[in-house]
Structure 1
Amino acid sequence: MEDPNDVAIRKLTRKNRRLESLLKKYKQNYHLQHALIQLSEQASTVAELTLLYPAIHSILEQHLPSKSFYVVLQNQFTQTLELSYFVDEKDGISVPLHESHHFDQGVTGYVFKTKKVLYLSKDEMQLMIDDNKFKALGSPAEHWVGVPIFRDKNIIGVMVSQSYQPQQAYNEHQIELLEVMSLYLATAIERVKKRELLESEVKIRTRALMQSNDALNKEIEQRKRALERQQILFKISELATQFSDIDDVYKQVHKIIRSITFANNLYIALHDTGSNWLSFPYCVDEVTEYRPRPFAKGYSELVITTERSQLIDTNRADILIDGGVVKRPPDYDDLETATSWLGAPLKTAKGVIGLIACQAYNHEYEYNHEDVELISFVSNQIASVLQTHLANQALKASNQELEHRVAEKTKALRQTNLHLQMQIEERKKIEQQLYHDAHHDPLTSLPNRSLFLTQLEKTLQKYQRYPEHNFAVLFIDLDKFKVINDELGHQAGDQFLIWVSSAFSECIREHDLLARLAGDEFVILLDHLTDKQQAEDVAKRLIRVMQQPFCMKGVCMQSGASIGITYSNKEYKNTDEIIRDADAAMYYAKNAGRGRYEFYHPLLTASSGSATKAEEQHHLTALPTHFRSTEIVDFGNHATQIVTLEAFGEHPVLGSTSFDVLKKFAAAKDEQLDIELGLLEKALKIAQSYNQDVLLACSTIVLESSAFVTLKHMLSQNNTQLCLMFDENEVRYASSVQLENLKELPQLGVNIGLNDFAKERCDLAFLSSIDFKYVLLSSVFSKRVLQQNSYDIQLQGILAITHLKSIQVIAKGPAILNFRSLLEKHGLQLFFGKQQNLKSARQSSNCVNEQETLTF
């Protein structure tokens, strides 16, 4: 029988192994978590990429068997792999930064191309090299692991760790650690990548020195010096703004160089390529005194010619002299020879402008390659500063010389030109007066016809080049002017015209042009318009101001203004056409009742001289008709529930034109009523093909007693969803009978709506007193809602009332997505844009005859 103690020991042994396994996993997870926390802290605090890489390396050293570590990133411009960080126990900096193609050919480039983690032993790597997977570069490592670095699923580089000891292999946990670290590395690299150049080289050098514990103190000192030198470079770059005098800049440069290396003897030389001379604007030297001299074969010329920094000791000096590269002048004193000389070119975008040189005598100091590197970096910064100051100094000197020459020339010419200038000024005044008299009305001092036509011609030419720069011309004829002349006398008439010109000037903008053509005819040119409403607003102001009585000699008389408006049109080729159409619109306004304005329409001048008015009206009633439909856009629901119908007539002169425009020129009311009822009858048939609400603009003339019976009969015979839209302006001036009939339509089950609401004023009484189903806002109001807060407040009042009465509000404006989106932000859901063709299955509707073409 088995001994119980042995059984207990085996159980304890198994438990111990399990605990050891769990403890090992716990340690691994703890190490991984600890490393990620450290990386996160470094990424949040480190401001430079050159400080981030050592921090990452330091974290990895705690968990990896080797200190050899480097990072290669892809240059986004050249698409080549470039070394960003490198510390190796064996090779040191074996791959220069500019030879990026080495990485493309080696195992690092292989990882970048495959985008996969790769772990190779020395033998495995040799097999892949023999298989031409990649080339052998650098000293072979016993163990090599490369991890791709990704940013947004795109590979941007490779992170590598390698070991030169056979026993220093990488386990799965260590490879996993490298993978996780690479995931977080891309973000940190992107944040600080732009500031890595100088600090990267310093840190690579510093890391290369960490081969033994004895060099640790030296490494810390080296890093400290690098940081100090970086601060010095910043100080040099600040010289461009802190000092305005070039001599102060030279002194500060010397002070900075002295703080980083031996610079008891320093001079700055500038090369003038035009004269081929060297000048020495700054020089502090214990032995030699430098003066300007021709370009020869000295140390300074060698630096400028080669465009490279030069380090010359006594041995190299002998070699250069023996080879003829450097040539001593005949009177040269050997006692003045420096035992160590260092010069760096001052390079700018325009080339080498000179050099900065330090030298030591009697072996007081020996410059080394570290000094060469430092001075080279510093000289680039100094060159930029000096170029800026020299350019400013040259510009200042040039300006001073120019000012002096101008002052002398001005003084010399002042006396001789004084008399001539007086004559010229007198002649200018005469010419200006003549020009003013020739182009201005002598009574009102307003521009006359000549000046107005000249400016109109320029405006028309500008419009033809830039069609978005709209303009309008307002032709104004004063009402009852002859009565004022007859009643009060011609002197009063002149005073009245002066008063009118002043009043009209207050109604327009500064850059608009008001002119007097002749007698009581005035004209205004409005430029930089965006829509016709702006011209309409000016016309309203002119009419309001003319409603004020004119009083003189105790007698007050009422005048007025009839205004015709033409708006910019691509059909206009000359100014005569514009004046002609504005005049026609003015006479139409005068014949229509005076004290009003009218826009020009082609029908005003389209009829021939032989056609009678009756023939024109008969022709209007016989026009072939078709309808265009436009769906209302619903922001909240993409399924369209509403459509509008608009009637068009095929006019022989105007072509396809809206019947709303053509009806305006129908003189007899019964003829207009016949047109309205005819259009309504056709629209009712078309509306039967829709399963949506159909909106149709309708005139209040159908609400009169004689027509309302016919209207009700037509609506009762057609079971459709047609909604009659009445214009707000017509409803406002409707008779009591028309208003009662309008209120009766909803009781009969007929949908009604308010069209072009809030164009001039926002009257909420309409919305609360009549049961409308739809309210179509005017395009003017919709535009002003987006421009002025006061109109948005009015809109909120409209939406509040319509919400209580379940009225749907529709905005109107240009079919621009941004315009509709802005209106949606103000609480509107429905939108009616410009006419556009809409594809629909209803195209095949059989309710449309030959003269009722429904265009979708």
Structure 2
Amino acid sequence: MEDPAALLRKTIRRNKKLEVLLKKHKQNNHLQHALILLSEQASTVAELTLLYPAIHDILVQHLPCKSFYVVLQNQFSQELELSYFVDEKDGIAVPLHEAHHFSDGITGHVFRTGKTLYLTQSQMTEQARDGVFRALGSPAEHWVGVPIYRDKTIIGVMVSQSYQKDQHYTEQQIELLEVMSLYLATAIERVKKRELLESEVKIRTRALMQSNDALNKEIEQRKRALERQQILFKISELATQFNDIDDVYQQVHDIIRSITFADNLFIALYDKNTGWLSFPYCVDEVSHYKPRPFAKGYSELVISTEQSQLIDIERAKTLIDSSIVVRTRHYHQQRLATSWMGAPLKTAHGVIGLIACQAYDHKYEFNHDDIELISFVSNQIASVLQTHLANQALKASHLQLEHRVAEKTKALQQSNLHLQMQIDERKKIEQQLYHDAHHDALTSLPNRSLFLTQLEKTLQKFQRHPEHNFAVLFIDLDKFKLINDELGHQAGDQFLIWVAQAFLECIREHDLLARLAGDEFVILLDHLSDRQQAEDVAKRIIKVMQQPFCMKGVCMQSGASIGITYSNKHYQNTDEIIRDADAAMYYAKNAGRGRYEFYHPLLTAATGNHKTAEYHHLSALPSHFRGTDIIDLSLSNNDISMLEAFGEHPVLGSTSFDILKKFAAEKAEHVDIELLLLTQALELARDTKQDVLFACSTILLDQQVFAQLCQRLAQHTHSLCLIFDETEIRYASNQQQDNLCELTHLGYIIGINDFAKDRCDLTLLSQINFTYVLLSSTFSKRVLQQTSYEAQLKGILAVTQLQNMQVIAKGPAILNFRSLLESHGLTRFFGKQHHIEKAAIDVRQTPPIPTESETLTF
């Protein structure tokens, strides 16, 4: 027999095991019950705001959970956001008022670690003091946080806390929270899907209701169209089934009666030849209308305006007060209509009459729907009435044919319209594809491909029509790399967009601006009459690029270096044009940036086969003079001529020395050629009685050169006039200007060239005693185009007349406008039409004195 003590111990052990099993069974039962309730709530609640309170109610049944909240991560901002919050002490205000509350506190700590955490108040205080997390809100006696996972990814934290010391959390209760958190993500997803489904149902319901409204409107429109179609059928019957005109009138009345109030109706016909109104049909409870001359009644108003009229008592008074309608002298004795409407009977030959309805004693008030219907009917029956009046049988067949043709035409038009819409849509797509392929994505400007295509067309046009000149401006932005480095590439892109818009405002609508690459832009100017127009565009671009570009509070100054090439007959392809414009641009950039330069062959001569070293000194170039008469309309003979020097350059050919001097290597070389040309000009002017104008530069007015100038002038008996460019005089030094005035004191003749090219500075004319003033060709042309320049010309003529100066208009083709400029007070002209080539004179040798037969006539 077993020992009773051993049996007792075994029984105690079994009882403990049974208690443990019973406890686990209860715990599993609680978990199962909680999960069942959670699943039911997830299947029944319609939105998340109802799900969280339901979960809270489930947990309250099994653990101290009066203070409970749920935090989820926002998938866009990645911040922890409060989804549900109930607290015994803090309410809801505390967590919402602190920025990044959950990320910094213990909740964020649980989210980062991804593990369940249970702490007492003392443990929380200790860890907060150690910097593990921040202590936020009222301290709880017991705090437990459980991470919420979805597919192994943590999406939030579920927290329960107790403010009572004796209300702690057991392992079973924590396990219940963990199990609930596992199924919470699934429940949230199910509720969200249900919310989305309900939202889609609502949207589709609204769409269906809108569709029903549209369908009702369409049904109403179809009803109205059917009514009008029935009216058309009835009117068509008038054209075929009724031969008696009185029957036609009666049927018209019946038709109008079917659509509106027509107890009182009359049809009036108008004869333009006699000017009389007749009333072939009238049904009226008061009046009976008789034929009358055309006057100022309601009927006449409809016929004269050819529009339907709706007249009530107020409008009738207005028409009478303004004398548009004039009453007869017996109208006070008549019973007047309180509402009246009439519609014209329009045919291809004009208005033949009208249909009118009226009501007395406010029995009916016509409205716009009535006037629309009677207008519709009148337009349809006008031809029918005219047909019956002229030839009932013949016109009836014609109307039937016209109706069928109209229907067929309408069907064909609908087909054509549908086809045209498809064609237009395809064109839009093709245009967009073409635009994207030929335009810069950043600035939306044309790209290199489109620019070269247009340049090729312009070059071909110029080769066929040499008078259609063009120019290409090659633009490189200064300091663009610095803007990119200082402000960033995004600022660089914004700068390029700003530059593109600014350049567009500097050119005409038909000019072409394109972006080649990076900070390089090109402009194609077409339909130019002279090089000055290209210069004007370049000046505008340089001026606009002087404005600073600001971004992010930083302002930087850029600029533009511009190379210009002007059309000439030697260009055979676009590559040559781009090459020359690029060379001119690099010349401008190397010359100091922020400027423009025209292309000259000297810029690229080094790359060709020309040997320029032997022509380094300009005085070694073979040269000749060309004399051009100045036409004086006030005299029978011309007493002035213009002398120009040309050099035979191996690259440029026969070219003005003004261009050659620009590329002089040294100032001394420039002075030598100027004095040499002056000596030859003095020889040519020695034996002539005319004034010979010779263009020279202000370098001759330098103190170290001026003595040589005066010496050469004193050695010759001559009638030579030294002409200086206005721009050089304006920027001359004080010493140079003093020497210029000294020339006049010494009795020598001087003049100013290209005056008023950029601005009209009359002070120059009053300060220096010029004998001749040569107007710029640009100014002469603008005088004919703008009235403001006419006023400036009057000022010039007034000043020069007081100073006894002679004004000469100059330009490549100025004589073509001679008669026009003469009307503005100009009588002397220097132009291309009367160009006279003179014999070549080698400036390296002393020219022989011409004989009488060889004397140059100027």
TM-score, scaled to structure 2:
0.50
Sort the Cα spacing of 1:716 and 1:250 in 2 relative to 1 into closer, same or farther, 3 A. Answer: closer
The 3 A distance-change label for structure 1 pair 816 and 768 is closer
1:719 and 2:721 matched:
no
| Aligned counterpart for 1:790 among listed residues 788, 791, 797 | 788
Match of 1:847 in 2: 849
Instruction: Give the structure 2 partner of residue 641 of structure 1.
Output: 639
| Match runs of 1:33-182 below 5 Å | none
Once residues 840 and 483 of structure 1 are traced to their aligned partners in structure 2, the CA distance between those partners, rounded to angstroms, is 55
Partner-residue secondary structure (3-state), 2:586: helix
Match of 1:552? 551
SS in 1 for 2:542: helix
Q: Which residues of 2 match residues 557-596 of structure 1 at below 5 A?
A: 557-596=556-595
Counterpart in 1 of 2:826?
A: 828
After superposition, the Cα gap between the structure-2 partners of 1:854 and 1:473, relative to the gap in structure 1 and judged at 3 Å, is farther
Aligned to 1:603: 602
Give the match for residue 435 of structure 1: 434
Q: CA–CA distance in 1 between the matches of 2:619 and 2:403?
A: 84
Amino acid at match of 1:736: N
Matching residue of 1:407: 410
Cα contact 1:815–1:834 (8 A) shared by 2: yes
Which has the greater radius of gyration? Answer: 2
CA distance in 2, matches of 1:581, 1:726: 30
Matches of 2:437 and 2:512, distance apart in 1? 17
Write the deviation string for residues 384-414 of structure 1: whole angstroms up to 9, x where unpaired. xxxxxxxxxx999999876543322344687
* One-letter amino acid of the structure 2 residue matched with residue 605 of structure 1: T
1:617 match:
616
Partner of 2:100: none
Residues 396 and 642 (structure 1 numbering): CA distance in 2 closer, same or farther, change over 3 Å?
farther
Name the counterpart of 1:344. Answer: none
- In the alignment, which residue of structure 1 is the partner of 2:136? none
Output the aligned Cα RMSD.
Answer: 3.5
Do 2:623 and 2:840's aligned partners in 1 also have CA atoms closer than 8 Å? Answer: no
Offset, 1:723: 0.7
Separation in 2 of the partners of 1:783 and 1:841?
32
Letter in 1 for 2:684: I
Question: Contact 1:630/1:835 (CA < 8 Å) preserved in 2?
Answer: no
Contact 2:549–2:557 under 8 Å retained in 1: yes
Amino acid of the structure 1 residue aligned with 2:536: D
Does 2:727 correspond to 1:729?
A: yes
Q: Flag the 1:549–1:405 CA change in 2: closer, same or farther, 3 A.
A: same
What SS does structure 2 have at the residue aligned with 1:762?
coil
Q: Does 1:630 align with 2:628?
A: yes
Aligned residue runs from structure 1 range 113-262, under 5 A: none
Contact 2:625 2:838 in 1 (8 A): no
Structure 2 residue 741 is the aligned partner of structure 1 residue 743? yes
1:836 positional shift: 4.5
- Bigger mean CA offset, 594-603 vs 750-759: 594-603
Q: Residue 683 of structure 2 is aligned with which of 679, 682, 685? A: 685
How far apart, CA to CA, are the structure 2 residues paired with 1:446 and 1:453? 13
Cα separation, 2, equivalents of 1:395 and 1:632: 79
Q: Secondary structure at the match of 2:616?
A: helix
Query: What letter corresponds to residue 777 of structure 1 in structure 2?
Result: L
Q: Which amino acid aligns with 1:538?
A: V
Match for residue 702 of structure 2 among 688, 704, 717: 704
For the residue of structure 2 that corresponds to 1:537, the secondary structure is helix
Deviations 1:644-703 (Å, cap 9, x if unpaired)? 110011112332211111111113211111111111111111111211111100100111
Matches within 5 A, 1:632-671: 632-671=630-669
Inter-partner Cα distance in structure 1 for 2:471 and 2:525: 5
Kept after mapping to 1: 8 A contact 2:642/2:693: yes
Aligned equivalents of 2:527, 2:507: Cα separation in 1 = 13
Contact 2:626 2:838 (C-alpha < 8 Å) held by counterparts? no
Cα distance, 1:447–1:695 mapped onto 2, change above 3 Å: same
Q: Is the 8 A contact 1:475 1:524 kept in 2?
A: yes
Report if the CA contact (8 A) 1:755-1:778 is conserved.
Answer: yes
Letter in 1 for 2:409: V
CA displacement 1:758-793 (0-9 Å, x = unmatched): 001000010000111111101111111122221111
Query: Per-residue CA shift, 1:150-194, capped at 9, x if unaligned?
Result: xxxxxxxxxxxxxxxxxxxxxxxxxxxxxxxxxxxxxxxxxxxxx
Q: Which runs of 5+ in 1 are unaligned?
A: 1-247, 253-393
Q: Whole-Å Cα distance in 1 between the matches of residues 717 and 756 of structure 2?
A: 31
Query: Hey, what's the Cα distance between the residues in 2 that align with 1:772 and 1:395?
Result: 88
2:581 & 2:840 partners in 1: Cα distance? 43
| Cα shift at 1:738 | 0.7
* Structure 1 residue 249 displacement after superposition: 12
1:695 is aligned to 2:697: no
One-letter amino acid of the counterpart of residue 823, structure 2 = K
Q: Does 1:451 align with 2:446?
A: no
1:757/1:777 contact within 8 Å kept: yes
Aligned length: 462
Q: Secondary structure at the match of 1:464?
A: helix
SS in structure 2 at match of 1:689: coil
Q: CA contact under 8 A between 1:643 and 1:695: conserved in structure 2?
A: yes
Q: Which residue of 2 aligns with 1:352?
A: none
Letter in 2 for 1:549: P
**Deviation at 1:251?**
13
User: By how many angstroms is 1:623 displaced?
Assistant: 0.5
Q: 2:723 corresponds to which letter in structure 1?
A: M
Counterparts of 1:501-516 in structure 2, within 5 Å, are: 501-516=500-515
For residues 533 and 776 of structure 1, the distance between their equivalents in structure 2, rounded to whole angstroms, comes to 17
Contact kept? 2:610, 2:650, Cα under 8 Å: no
Change (3 A) 1:662 1:426: same
Please state whether the residue corresponding to 1:656 is helix, strand or coil. Answer: strand
Distance 1:804 1:746 in 2: 17
The Cα of 1:486 is off from its aligned counterpart by 1.8
Partner Cα separation in structure 2 for residue 397 and residue 765 of structure 1 = 86
Asked if 1 retains the 8 angstrom alpha-carbon contact of 2:626 and 2:837, the reply is no
TM-score, normalising length: structure 1: 0.50
Q: Specify whether residues 819 and 250 from structure 1 end up closer, same or farther in structure 2 by C-alpha distance, changes over 3 A only.
A: closer
Residue 486 of structure 2 corresponds to residue 483 of structure 1: no
Q: What is the CA–CA distance in structure 1 between the aligned matches of 2:802 and 2:451, rounded to whole Å? A: 54
Name the residue aligned to 2:541.
542
CA distance 1:406–1:713, shift in 2 (3 Å): same
- Cα separation, partners in 2 of 1:679 and 1:795, compared to 1, 3 Å: same
Residue 758 of structure 1: aligned partner: 756
Amino acid paired to 2:799: I
Distance 1:841 1:464, change over 3 A: closer
- Contact kept, 8 Å, 1:449 with 1:517, in 2: the verdict is yes
Q: Identity of counterpart residues, as a percentage?
A: 70
Counterparts in 2 of 1:835 and 1:846: CA distance versus 1, 3 Å:
farther
- Mind listing any 5+ residue stretches in structure 2 that lack a counterpart? 1-270, 276-396, 842-846
Compute the displacement of 1:493 (Å): 1.1
Instruction: Tell me the amino acid that sits aligned with residue 641 of structure 1.
Output: D
Distance 1:710 1:759 in 2: 31
Find the aligned partners of 1:645 and 1:538 in 2 and give their Cα distance.
31
Instruction: Say whether the 8 Å CA contact 1:689–1:847 is kept in structure 2.
Output: no
Deviation at 1:468, TM superposition (A): 3.0
Cα deviation digits, residues 822-849 of structure 1 (max 9, x gap): 2121111211112745499999x94269
Q: State the alpha-carbon separation in 2 of the partners of residues 663 and 528 from structure 1.
A: 30
Matched-pair contact (CA < 8 Å) for 1:626–1:853: no
Q: Distance in 1 between matches of 2:428 and 2:519?
A: 31
Tell me the CA shift for residue 542 of structure 1: 0.7
State whether structure 2 residue 817 is matched by structure 1 residue 819: yes
Q: For residue 728 of structure 1, what is the amino acid of its counterpart?
A: E
Please state how far the C-alpha of 1:467 moved relative to its aligned partner: 2.9
Cα separation, 2, equivalents of 1:661 and 1:434: 47
Relative to structure 1, the CA distance from residue 401 to residue 634 in structure 2 (aligned partners, 3 Å threshold; closer, same or farther) is farther
User: Which whole-Å CA distance do the structure 2 matches of 1:777 and 1:820 have between them?
Assistant: 14
Equivalent pair of 1:627/1:853 in contact (CA under 8 Å)? no
Q: Is the 8 A contact 2:612 2:650 kept in 1?
A: no
Task: Quickly say closer, same or farther: Cα 1:839–1:447, change in 2 above 3 A.
Answer: closer
Whole-angstrom CA distance in 1 between matches of 2:273 and 2:803: 83
Distance 2:814 2:752 in 1: 24
